[in-house]
Amino acid sequence: MDNAIIVRDITKVFRIGHNRQIVALDNVSFEVKEGEFFGLLGPNGAGKTTLTKIISTLLIPDSGEVLVNGYSIYKEPMKVRQSIGWMQGETGGRALYWRLSGYDNLKYFATLQGVNSKVAEIRIKTFLKFLDLDKDAYRLVKDYSTGMKIKLLLIRALLHNPSILILDEPTVGLDVASAIKIREFLRELNEELNKTILFTSHNMTEVEQLCDRIAIINKGKIIFVGSARQMKEKVEKVKVVSLKVRMNGKTENELVSSLMKMNSVEKILSKRNDEGIYEFRIAVRDPYETIPELVTKLKDWKIEAIERSLPTLEEAFIRILGGDYIE
């Protein structure tokens, strides 16, 4: 068997109140190979957490199938749970008992995982030491920093030596040093211990650094699956100019149509009105060609600022999606 995780046509709709619903996942399919470091990249609300929880048997999808180590999430959820270690970083280290020490938290979960207590002790001590938590092991978790809590969550996911790790934004909200340490640890787990890792993040650089393959998810749909290199090439093609103007008696529509007439403008990515100053973010073919063109053609408006800018993740997605102009 060479696929650790197979996700087939997963759809999940949340009902909110009586008649509102959110399509959190829309026909999602992909697979993660054994030993792969797989990144799931997407902005907030894209459906990453929903997807990782479905794979981890915490949520039941409306339709579709997931196989983990060959076990179906419907038919053999216990086998799936034995195969995986799951953690969620987003909640900033909740999901721990703050009135227990770090050590006791881990000991408790090792028992729940059915790990032999002598083996558990060796593992807990080794991991605590490896992540520089050994000196704080017997302090109550309520006195831990976010970084320390996240480390604890990671160790907890490893206690039963699962072959697959499902890590939902493990570095979110961490200071730079802690994030680096955690990334190193994950790389080690993948390379030295051959753990399959499904890793979610909304940080493009991080995913690019760590992952063999990447899926990009946006509004519940997978819009790209490929190598980090393939993603980078696509993203690097996206060039953005940010333009801040005052209307000077003209209308917004007039400005949009002037912009669209310009040769080098590919797509208006977003616009925002901040007390009379409009900010347009524009995807362009060549910023060095666009900027002078904007300056000459927008004489009737008052330009406050104009600059080349790096694409945000969402903007890169819009381009990768390959859609037409928004307006």
Partner 1 sequence: MSNTENLLDAFRYGRGLEKQSLKLKIHRVFGVVWAQMKILLNYKMQFFLEVIDIILNVLIYYFIGFLVSGDELAKLGYRTSYQAFALVGIALSRYIWTSISRISRRMQREISIGTFESILVTNTSIDLWIIGQALFGFLWSSLWFVGTLVSGILIGIPIIITVYNLPQIIFIVLFSVLVHASIGILFAAIAILYKQIETVLFVFSTTIEFLGGVVYPIAILRKYQPLYYLSLMIPFTHSLELMRKVMISGINIWDPAASINLIALSLFLPLVWLSFKVLNYYYEEARKLGEISSY
Q: Is the CB of residue 109 less than 8 Å from the CB of residue 156? A: yes
Complex with Mg ion: residue 72 or 91, whichever CB lies closer:
91
Which does residue 42 touch among partner 1, Mg ion, ligand ADP, none (CB within 5 to 8 A, set by kind)?
ligand ADP
Among 151, 156, 267, 319, binds partner 1 (CB under 8 A): 156
Complex with partner 1: residue 83 or 290, whichever CB lies closer:
83
57 binds partner 1 (CB under 8 A): yes
Distance of CA 182 to the CA centre of its chain: 15
Calpha distance 303→306 (Å, rounded): 7
For residue 79, the SS3 value is helix
Calpha distance 122→198 (Å, rounded): 26
Complex with Mg ion: residue 40 or 282, whichever CB lies closer:
40
Residues 203-232 contacting partner 1, CB under 8 A:
none
Calpha distance 268→194 (Å, rounded): 44
Using CA atoms, how far residue 168 sits from 36, 51, 60, 87, 295, in Å, is 16, 10, 17, 6, 45
**What's the closest the beta carbon of residue 149 comes to partner 1, in angstroms?**
11
Calpha distance 15→69 (Å, rounded): 31
Complex with partner 1: residue 115 or 238, whichever CB lies closer:
115
**What's the closest the beta carbon of residue 219 comes to ligand ADP, in angstroms?**
9
Calpha distance 75→197 (Å, rounded): 23
Candidate ranges 25-33, 111-119, 227-235, 270-278; the one touching partner 1 (CB under 8 A): 111-119
Complex with partner 1: residue 36 or 168, whichever CB lies closer:
168
Q: Which residues pair with 213 in a beta bridge?
A: 38, 227
Residue corresponding to tokens 């927008």: 298
Using CB under 5 A as the criterion, which residues of the chain lie in contact with Mg ion when the complex forms?
Answer: 48-49, 90
Using CB under 6 A as the criterion, which residues of the chain lie in contact with ligand ADP when the complex forms?
Answer: 14, 16, 22, 24, 42, 44-50
The binding site for partner 1 (CB under 8 A) comprises 14-15, 50, 53, 56-60, 78, 81-82, 84, 86, 88, 91, 94-100, 104, 108-109, 111-116, 119-120, 122-123, 126-127, 129-130, 140, 156, 160-161, 188-189, 192-193
